[in-house]
């Protein structure tokens, strides 16, 4: 079930809100758990059992790790938990990838299993891993209530698309949290903002990307329009879903951490990744990079650690060489910035460092979206003027005119300009009054427009469902 669907907005969510706020606090987690399981079951009936099995495994392993703390068995159960979770993730997500590559290398003809990828498995696997690892480290108390742990794992606002919520972030709120009209209003406003980003911007930009891919009249400029559109599409799609998750979490009394912080204003690739998908970046930092030694090791080992983390980051996104190359591509620029590019970027005018980052990011997401490395190389060749295509043509002009407004809105919306303007306007007495009165009006107008778009439109994908 998509957040950006009529069934969710006008059936599922209202019913869940009524039930949730109607019951005493001791039953609220149970209501959320049942609602979350139904939410997942609606799209993945069979794989709901897999998610429950993963939760049961984490619950039992957590109890055993705590029961045998300060003995060798505690580490044994930690390793068992990690291996079990990764094997399940690996089987469902990567089996056909490995079979395909074995067939290519050995010329064998092993049939593909063609296993359907369970929605959200990459997200909830990382969340259950964070739980057992933090219990082992002593950074989290073992959860003895299965309902609370299952609520954490299955919590529908962040279940299928993140952000990756650490157990320690919501540990206290699973037991006791505050509900208020203020929290509800802030959360609902954040949800509507994310819904608008997803439906009005991401979906429209996604349409332009589909048009480019189907076109037989490409040009040099059209390649760059496509690269820009896809960068913005991914950003508004994923950050929009993160906004909706954070907003819904706030409505139910949870405070999830931010996942995006205007990454396209970055002056270096390293800064970009401190602002983009922050929950994934910090997860790999705390559970892979630092345990490997981080940067407090020899240069050779630090080089290894960086490559391992970015190989895994790419591989986490999908079972294809394009994702691995995408991850290692970022590793290359992070290493270059660490050794010498960083000093150069600090000296040159800000506009030049900004152009450098945007160029690197545009190329990266063209690789990310390619259907195989052959298409990635072809697309990059088109962007660099290495194909026998015109610089500009009538078809490019037509689609620039058709999608020019949404591209401009996307560019402006990807910066903090609007947020800063609103904050400055709010410091004026009349401005604060206007915003207070106008905010509900804008929200209602957005809901009406979004609903009309959803009823009329058919293009409503979500990129991260395949992860």
The Cα–Cα gap between 69 and 73 comes to 8
SS3 string of the chain?
Answer: CCCCCHHHHHHHHHHHHHHHHHCCHHHHHHHHHHHHHHHHHHHCCCHHHHHHHHHHHHHHHHHHHHHCCCCHHHHHHHHHHHHHHHHHHHHHHHHHHHHHHHHHHHCCCCCCCCCCCCCCHHHHHHHHHHHHHHHHHCCCCCCCCHHHHHHHHHCCCCCCCCCCCCHHHHHHHHHCCCCCHHHHHHHHHHHHHHHHHHHHHHHHHHHHHHHHHHCCCCCHHHHHHHHHHHHHHHHHHHHHHHHHHHHHHHHCCCCCCCCCCCHHHCCCHHHHHHHCCHHHHHHHHHHHHCCCCCCCCCHHHHHHHHHHHHHHHHHHHCCCHHHHHHHHHHHHHHHHHHHHHHHHHHHCCHHHHHHHHHHHHHHHHHHHHCCCHHHHHHHHHHHCCCCCCCCCCHHHHHHHHHHHHHHHHHHHHCCCHHHHHHHHHHCCHHHHHHHHHHHHHHHHHHHHHHHHHHHHCCCCCCHHHHC
- pLDDT value of residue 455: 85
Within 10 Å of residue 320's Cβ, how many Cβ atoms? 18
- pLDDT value of residue 346: 87
**What's the pTM value of the predicted model, to 2 decimals?**
0.93
Mean pLDDT by 10 residues, the chain (467 residues): 88 96 95 95 90 96 95 96 96 94 92 90 95 96 96 92 91 93 93 94 94 93 97 96 96 95 95 96 96 90 95 94 96 93 89 95 96 94 93 94 96 94 86 84 90 77 56
The Cα–Cα gap between 285 and 280 comes to 9
Find the farthest-apart pair of alpha carbons in the chain and give their distance in angstroms, rounded.
73
CA-CA-CA-CA torsion sign (300, 273, 237, 226): negative
The Cα–Cα gap between 394 and 106 comes to 48
- pLDDT value of residue 52: 96
Q: Rounded to whole angstroms, what are the CA distances from 33 to 26, 176, 214, 317, 336?
A: 13, 16, 42, 27, 46
Tokens found for residue 157: 């606002």
Residue 277 is a catalytic residue: no
Tell me: the pLDDT tens digits for 101-133?
999 999 888 999 988 889 899 999 999 999 999
Burial of 144 (C-beta count, 10 Å sphere; 0-12/13-18/19+): exposed
- pLDDT value of residue 342: 86
- pLDDT value of residue 426: 85
Name the catalytic one among 61, 233, 277, 317: 317
Burial of 222 (C-beta count, 10 Å sphere; 0-12/13-18/19+): buried
Cβ–Cβ under 8 Å, residues 311 and 335: no
């Amino acid at each position: 079930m998509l957040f950006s669907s009529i069934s969710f907005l006008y059936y599922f969510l209202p019913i869940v809100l009524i039930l949730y706020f109607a019951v005493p606090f001791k039953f609220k987690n149970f209501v959320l758990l049942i609602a979350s399981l139904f939410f997942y079951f609606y799209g993945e009936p069979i794989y709901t059992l897999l998610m429950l099995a993963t939760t049961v495994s984490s619950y039992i392993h957590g109890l055993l790790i705590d029961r045998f703390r300060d003995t060798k068995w505690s580490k044994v159960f930690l390793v068992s938990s990690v291996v079990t979770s990764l094997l399940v993730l690996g089987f469902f997500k990567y089996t056909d990838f490995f079979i395909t590559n074995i067939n290519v290398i050995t010329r064998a003809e092993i049939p593909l299993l063609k296993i359907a990828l369970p929605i959200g498995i990459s997200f909830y696997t990382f969340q259950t891993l964070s739980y057992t690892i933090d219990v082992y480290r002593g950074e989290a108390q073992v959860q003895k209530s299965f309902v609370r742990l299952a609520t954490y794992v299955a919590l529908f606002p962040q279940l299928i698309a993140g952000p990756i919520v650490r157990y320690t972030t919501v540990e206290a709120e699973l037991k006791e949290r505050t509900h208020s009209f203020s929290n509800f209003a802030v959360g609902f406003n954040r949800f509507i903002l994310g819904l608008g980003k997803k439906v009005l911007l991401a979906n429209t930009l996604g349409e332009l990307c589909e048009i480019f891919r189907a076109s037989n009249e490409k040009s040099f400029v059209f390649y760059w329009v496509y690269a820009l559109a896809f960068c913005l599409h991914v950003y508004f799609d994923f950050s929009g879903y993160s906004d909706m998750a954070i907003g819904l979490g706030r409505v139910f009394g949870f405070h999830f951490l931010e996942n995006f912080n205007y990454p396209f204003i970055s002056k270096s690739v390293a800064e970009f990744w401190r602002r983009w998908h922050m929950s994934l970046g910090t997860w790999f930092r705390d559970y892979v990079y630092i345990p490997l030694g981080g940067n407090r090791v020899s240069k050779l080992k630090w080089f290894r650690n960086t490559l391992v983390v970015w190989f895994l980051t790419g591989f986490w996104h999908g079972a294809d060489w394009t994702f691995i190359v995408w991850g290692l591509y970022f590793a290359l620029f992070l290493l270059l910035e660490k050794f010498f590019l960083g000093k150069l970027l600090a000296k040159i005018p800000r506009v030049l460092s900004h152009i450098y980052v945007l160029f690197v990011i545009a190329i990266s997401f063209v690789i990310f979206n390619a259907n195989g490395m052959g298409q990635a190389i072809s697309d990059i060749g088109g962007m660099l003027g290495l194909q026998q295509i015109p610089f500009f043509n009538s078809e490019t002009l037509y689609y620039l005119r058709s999608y020019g407004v949404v591209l401009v809105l996307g560019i402006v919306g990807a910066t903090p300009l609007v947020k800063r303007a609103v904050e400055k306007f709010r410091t004026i007495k009349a401005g604060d009054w206007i915003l207070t009165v106008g905010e509900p009006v804008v929200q209602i107008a957005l809901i009406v427009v979004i609903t009309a778009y959803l009823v009329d439109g058919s293009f409503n994908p979500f990129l991260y469902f395949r992860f």
